[in-house]
Amino acid sequence: MATDSFRNNEIAVVALTRKGVALGRRLKTMLPGSHLYRPEKFGAGQENEHLFASAVKEVVNEVFHHYRYLVLVMAVGIAVRLVASPLRDKHQDPGVVVVDDAATFAISLLSGHIGGANRLAQRLSSLLGSQPVITTASDVAGTIPVDLLGREFGWEMEDNSNVTAVSAALVNEEPVGIYQDAGEANWWPQPEALPHNVSVFSSIEALSAAACQAALIISDRIFGQRTQASLPAHTIIYRPRSLVIGIGCNRGTKSSEIEAAVNTILAEQGLSIKSVRNLATIDLKQTEVGLVEFARRYGLAVAYFDKESLSQADFPSAPSAAALSSVGTPAVCESAAILSSGNAALITPKVSYQRAVTIAIARLPATGRSKPGGKLFVVGIGPGDAEQMTFKAREAIARSEIVIGYTAYIQLIAAFLGQKEVIATGMGTEVERVKRALSLAREGRTVSLVSSGDAGIYGMAGLVGEMLGQPTGAPPDIEVIPGVPALAATAALLGAPLSGDFAAISLSDYLVSWTEISQRLKLAAQANFVIVLYNPKSRQRQQELTRAKEIIGQYRSPLTAVGIVTNAYRRKQQITITDLAHMLDYEVGMNTTIIIGNSTTSVSNDWMVTPRGYQTRYNLKDGA
Ligand code: SAH
C-alpha cells in the first residue's frame, strides 16, 4: 500500500471553463483512471469524459459520494458552495482539492487527513508545479498526524477515542511520549526530527515514569491492568501487523472453534488480534470450511504451504506422528508460522486447543529504517523547460527538504521550490555541492541534488558515485532520477539524427586530456558513428571545436549534415542545420550541443535524419 498511489476510478475532476477543461484533461492523463466532468458546450468528449448540460451543482451532488477524491478546477468560493449540500462528515466525505484554472495553487479543501486530500494536493502540486495549500493544524505545526500514523503499513488503533486529546497535546506542544516494540520503524521520516515536545522511551516503564501528557504506543502486546493504569490518561495504542499465526486443525473444525482457539491463545499470550498480519497452514486446508470462514470474517489472508516445505522447516517442538500419518508432515502450525514469517522467531511454540486446533505464533522483526540516514535524490531535470521534466523528478524535488544545484539550474526549477531550503552554488563548485548533499543526507535530511539533462550523463551522479568510495561515513540511501539528456533534446529539435549508432564526446579537456579526446573523435569518425559533441566551447576553451572539425573532416565529406542547438527547450533556443564545411560559421556557446551526421545522414524539409535502414527493407515512397 504505497502512500502516494491513487487507484482507478477513485478521482473525479470537475472543470467549468475552457482553460479549466484543458487543465482537467492534463490531470486526467496524469492520474490514470480518473474521470473528467465538464460542460457539454466545449465540444465532443474524449475517453473518460462525462459531459453535462445541467447545473454543475447537480453534478457535484451526484458524484460526491461515488468517488474517493474530487478535484475541483475552479475558484474556492464556487467549490465551497458546491460541496456544502452533499457534506456528511470526515469519515464519509471524499477528499476534495481545489485547483485554480492556472494551476498556481492546489488547495486541500476537505478531508485533509482521513480523506487523503492533503496527500492529493501534494501530489497534484508535484505534477503541475503548483503550490500546495494545506491548513490542517498538525501539518502546519509539522507534528504527528495521530489519525494517520502507520496507516500505510496497515496499523490499526486499539481504540480511537483518544485521538482528539492526543492530537491536542501534540499541537499544543505538551510533553508526549512514544514507545515502540514491534512493527515498521520508519513511520516518521527522520527520528531525530521529531517535534521537540515528543520523546521516545526505550521501555514502557520509563514512559510510565515520565510526566507525559499523552502517549503513542506501537506494540502488538496487550498490557496488564497495572501497566495500563500507569500510562498517561491520553494514550493511543497502535497495532502493527507484526504477528503470523500458524494453525492446524482437525478436518471439520467449526469456524467458531477456531475463533475461540485463536482468541483464547492470543489472550493467554497477551497479544492483540489486531496485530495479526496473516494466518498460515498446510495447502490441504484450502478447502477447510471453518478455517476459510474464520479468515474471511476477520479479514485475514491465509498463506498455504505444501507438506514437503513444512517438513523441512526448522520447527522446535517434537515431531508429531499423528500429523505425519494424516497430512504427511511432522509439523503444521509451527512450520507454517516460520515459513510465512520469513523464518522469524516463534514467540509461542505449538499450543493445542481442545485437541482440535493447534496454534503457533511468530513475531516479525521490527522493520524499516535499515539506514539511519536520510535520502539523496540525484535528479536529472531535463534540458530546462518544466514540461520536459519527468513526474518523478518533480516528485523527488517535492519530497526534498533541501535542493542543491548550480545557480542557473536552480533558476530553471524555481517554480517547484516553494519554501524549500535551497543551496545554489556557481560553476566549478561541483565537488563542494556533492559533499554537502551527501553530508546532509547522512544527517538524515531528504535532499535533491539537481543536474541538467540526465544526472548520469556528464552529470552529478558520476561525481556522487566517485565520492561514495571515500571513507567519510556510511553511504546514505541514494536514488538517481533519470532526465531528458541534451543529446535527446537536441536530436528531437533537429529531427531524427540519432536513429543509428552514435557516439557522444565531450570536448572539455578539464577532466580528460586532449590526446584522449582527439583519439576518440578520430575513431568515432572513422567508424562512421553519428557524433554528438557536448561542451563544444567555453570562455576558456575556444579552439577545441576547430580542432574537432579538422579531425572529423579527415574521414567525412564537407557536405556532412551538422545540427547545432543552443539552449534547447530554454529561453533563446536556437536551432541550425548546416554542413561540416560551414559549422564554424555559427555561434556556439556553453549551452550548445552539436550533432554531426554520418555518411548516410540527410536533410530534407528542415529535418536532419539518419536513416535507420527501413528504406532498403521497405519501399517507403510507395506507401507500402
Ligand atoms: N547532464 C547533461 C549534460 C551536462 S554537460 C545532459 O544530460 O544533457 C553540459 C553540456 O550539456 C553543455 O555544454 C551542452 O553541450 C549540453 N547542454 C546542456 N543543456 C543544454 C541545452 N538546454 N541545450 C543544448 N545543449 C545543452
Cα 400 to the chain's mean position, in Å? 12
Q: What is the C-alpha to C-alpha distance for residues 492 and 296, in angstroms, rounded to an integer? A: 55
The 10s digit of each residue's pLDDT in 470-517 is: 655 566 789 999 999 999 999 999 999 999 999 999 999 888 999 999
- Helices and strands, counts by H and E, the chain: 21, 30
pLDDT tens string 258-285: 999 999 999 999 999 999 999 999 999 9
Residues 6 or more apart whose Cβ sits within 8 Å of residue 23: 15, 73, 99, 101, 103, 128
The Cα angle at residue 511 between residues 505 and 515, in degrees rounded to 5: 65
Closest CA to 356 of 271, 287, 286, 290: 290
32 three-state secondary structure: coil
| Per-residue model confidence (pLDDT) at position 130 | 87
Q: What is the pLDDT of residue 200?
A: 81
Amino acid occupying residue 384: G
Quote the pLDDT of residue 269: 95
**Rounded-to-integer distance, Cα 120 and Cα 463, Å:** 35
Grid cell of 493 as nine digits: 529539435
pLDDT in tens, 108-146: 999 888 788 988 998 898 888 888 898 887 666 667 888
Q: Which residues contact 273 (CB under 8 A, 6 or more apart)?
A: 262, 263, 266, 298
d(CA 41, CA 63): 20
**Structure pTM?**
0.52
Contact 125, 106 (CB under 8 A): yes
The sign one gets for the Cα dihedral 79, 84, 89, 92 is negative
Task: List, for residues 78-93, the tens digit of each pLDDT value.
Answer: 999 999 999 998 778 9
- CA–CA–CA angle 6, 9, 14 (5° rounding): 95
**Ligand 1: nearest atom to the Cα of 490:** 24
Instruction: State the closest ligand 1 atom to the C-alpha of 590, by its place in the atom list counted from 1.
Output: 13
Ligand 1 atom having least distance to the Cα of 570:
22
CA angle 40, 42, 44 (to 5 degrees): 75
Cβ-proximal residues to 246 (8 Å cutoff; 6+ apart), any chain: 279, 280, 281, 332, 333, 334, 335, 336, 337, 338, 340, 359, 360, 361, 362
| pLDDT mean over 564-579 | 96
Question: Lowest-confidence range among 4-8, 170-174, 537-541?
Answer: 4-8
Q: What is the pLDDT of residue 624?
A: 43
Distance 63 CA to ligand 1 centre (A): 47
Q: What's the 534 CA to ligand 1 centre distance in angstroms?
A: 7
Instruction: Match 543509428 to its residue by C-alpha cell.
Output: 500
Q: What are phi and psi of 175, to 5 degrees?
A: -65, 125
pLDDT of residue 119: 85
Residue 507's nearest CA partner among 390, 588, 604, 422 is 588
Given pLDDT bands bounded at 50, 70 and 90, which one contains residue 197? confident
pLDDT for the residue numbered 262: 97
Distance CA 346, CA 337 (A): 8
Span from the CA of 536 to the centroid of ligand 1 (angstroms): 10
Ligand 1, atom 13: closest residue by C-alpha: 535
500 C-alpha vs ligand 1 centroid, how far in Å? 21
> What residues flank ligand 1, with Cβ below 6 Å?
383-384, 451-454, 457-459, 485-486, 490, 534-535, 565-570, 590-593
Taking CB atoms within 8 Å and a gap of at least 24, the contacts of 292-296 are 293/255, 294/255, 294/258, 294/259, 294/262
DSSP 231: S
pLDDT digits (tens, 9 = 90+) for 209-237: 888 999 999 999 999 999 989 999 999 99
3-state secondary structure of 229: helix
Quote the cell numbers at residue 507: 570536448
- For residue 429, report the distance from its CA to the centre of ligand 1, in Å: 17
What per-residue confidence (pLDDT) applies to 564?
98
Provide the pLDDT for residue 532.
98
C-alpha cell at 453: 539533462
pLDDT of 4 reads: 42
The per-residue pLDDT for 1 is: 30
Q: Give the position, in ligand 1's atom list, of the atom nearest the Cα of 384.
A: 22
Judged against a pLDDT cut of 70, whether residue 623 lies above it is answered with no
Work out the pLDDT band at 396, boundaries 50, 70, 90: confident
pLDDT at 191: 61
What is the 383 CA–ligand 1 centroid distance (Å)? 7
Angle at alpha carbon of residue 602, lines to 601 and 605, rounded to 5°:
145
Q: How many CB atoms are closer than 10 A to CB 47?
A: 8
- Ligand 1 center from residue 453 Cα (angstroms): 6
Cα dihedral 178, 184, 187, 192, rounded to 10, equals 60
User: What is the average pLDDT score of the chain?
Assistant: 90
**Strand pairing class (156-157; 234-239):** antiparallel
Give distance in angstroms: CA of 567 to centre of ligand 1.
8
Mutation to probe ligand 1, out of 411, 564, 593, 594 (largest number of atoms < 8 A from CB):
593
Q: Report the residue among 591, 594, 595, 596 best suited for mutation to probe ligand 1: largest number of ligand atoms under 8 A from its CB.
A: 591
Which ranges of 129-283 does DSSP label H, i.e. alpha helix? Answer: 137-140, 163-171, 204-209, 225-230, 255-269
Stated as kind and residue range, the H or E segment containing 293 is helix 289-297
Burial pattern 248-261, b for ≥16 Cβ within 10 A else e, equals: bbeeebebebbbeb
Please tell me the predicted confidence (pLDDT) of residue 3. Answer: 36
| Index of the ligand 1 atom closest to the CA of residue 487 | 8
Best CA proximity match to 596, nearest among 474, 484, 497, 490: 497
From 385, 430, 450, 452, give the residue whose CB has the most ligand 1 atoms within 8 Å, as the site to mutate.
452
Q: What is the pLDDT of residue 105?
A: 95
Residue 553, class by beta-carbon neighbours within 10 Å (0-12 exposed, 13-18 middle, 19+ buried)? middle
Ligand 1 centroid from CA 556, angstroms: 25
Contact by Cβ (8 Å): 218, 400: no
